[in-house]
Amino acid sequence: MAGIFIVRNISAWAGRLLGGVIATAIGVPAATAEETWTLSGDLRGGYFASESKARNGTVTEVDALRGRLRLAAERDIGADFHFRARLAGRYGQHQTGHGFHLHGYASTSTGMALGETTLDEFYLDYADESRPWSLRVGRFQNRFALEGVASKGLDRNDSPNIDVTWTDGIHYRHRIQPGWRAHLVLQHNHRNGPGAAVRAPLDFSDNGSRVAVFSGLEATESLGPIVQRMIGVTWMPEALASDGTAFSRREDYITLVGRMAASWTLTDDGLRLVPGFEIGYAPNRPRATVTGSGDAGDAGGLAWQAAVSFYDIAPGHHLGLVYARIDAGWLLSGDFRGNDELSEVRYQWRFSPQWSFEARYRLREEIDVPAAAPGRREDRDFYLRISGRF
């Protein structure tokens, strides 16, 4: 009950803040002739192939051409306001979705389905250089991921690969001297789920789960060779259906995440080594029987990844390696599934400032297997992908 009371107060405060920002925006003088619309876009697509082996040994193979297209329009409004909207869609062979959708939740646990188009950005940004804080309101992208060629995140990494996800809500940023920035995100969750990637048994049908809170502290300046430092906490009140059914008792789902990366230049030709590590922990987890583990008690709540990247092996050619172990109780990542051990190698060739080619091979193996299962689930996938901006 306390969690519901707090969230309702946060929702009321967020509504008042949103109203104030919009009212202020309406009062901004008309745009000058120089404040025109800017159009941009990005395209990503290629050949994707996967082979999945079920616990009973059945092997399924899928290969297809798939892609994502995003088209954006933006403009300044007065001196301190900026508006941006973007249309995003996923397309390809064997697509199951269809048409344009504009609702507050994604069609699947990892985003919009193939064949669907939506607005993944529609926000107003306020930033005054004389003030240490800025504010974004509407639908936007949160991108907090570990640095590297194969950049991945345990949480709040919207729209990886060719996925389409988003965050609805308010993002407050505050510069803290020297060299730090604080983040506060109030995220609205639709009854059918948010626009961001979440996994069962997170459930948002309870009224107390409408608003999730993320707070983070991020370094904006390097510390010697350390180029990335960040810690973050996510709180989703009344969102965890701990027994995995519609009638389960609801608990708060909380995660703590920390990430760090360093960079060293190894040769005069510019070869650069970037190792990184990210770790997360969820103190409240679902029952293990919900996630497929044969163990009694709660599912594990630890998740971590280690990455090593080599930039400019030759000019514009990069290589990244990732190894990760994600317990079944980790439910917030679009890059990682729960109850998985992941190994990945990725090659990138950036042949122009706007365009790049990538090849990836990934192996995912189930960690905990039910005692009655004859074998372990295993997935292998591969892609050849081109990405560009225009």
Judge contact between 11 and 211, C-beta under 8 A.
Answer: yes
Q: What's at 103, amino acid-wise?
A: H
Judge contact between 46 and 383, C-beta under 8 A.
Answer: yes
What would you measure as the largest C-alpha separation in the chain, in angstroms? Answer: 70
pLDDT in tens, the chain (390 residues): 444 443 344 344 444 444 444 444 434 444 454 569 999 999 999 999 999 999 999 999 999 999 999 999 999 999 999 999 999 999 999 898 889 999 899 999 999 999 999 999 999 999 999 999 999 999 999 999 999 999 999 999 999 999 999 999 999 999 998 899 999 999 999 999 999 999 999 999 999 999 999 999 999 999 999 999 999 999 999 999 988 766 678 999 999 999 999 999 999 999 999 999 999 999 999 987 554 444 446 799 999 999 999 999 999 999 999 999 999 999 999 999 999 999 999 999 999 999 999 999 999 999 998 888 899 999 999 999 999 999
Place of tokens 């926000």: 123
State both tokens at 230.
């960040």
Residues 6+ apart with CB under 8 A from 260: 226, 228, 229, 230, 276, 277, 278
> What pLDDT was estimated at residue 289?
56
Pairing of strands 116-127, 99-100: parallel
In this structure, the number of other CB atoms found within 10 A of the CB of residue 46 comes to 18
Judge contact between 149 and 319, C-beta under 8 A.
Answer: yes
State both tokens at 88.
């995003």
> What pLDDT was estimated at residue 173?
98
Topology of domain 2-25+58-389 in CATH is Porin (2.40.160)
Q: Where are any strands of DSSP class E within the chain?
A: 38-53, 59-77, 81-92, 99-100, 116-127, 133-140, 167-176, 180-188, 211-219, 226-241, 250-262, 264-265, 272-281, 302-314, 317-326, 340-349, 355-366, 378-389
What's the rounded Cα separation, in Å, for the pair 169 and 23? 17
Pairing of strands 317-326, 340-349: antiparallel
Place of tokens 């996925």: 163
The neighbouring-strand residues paired with 78 are none
> What pLDDT was estimated at residue 26?
38
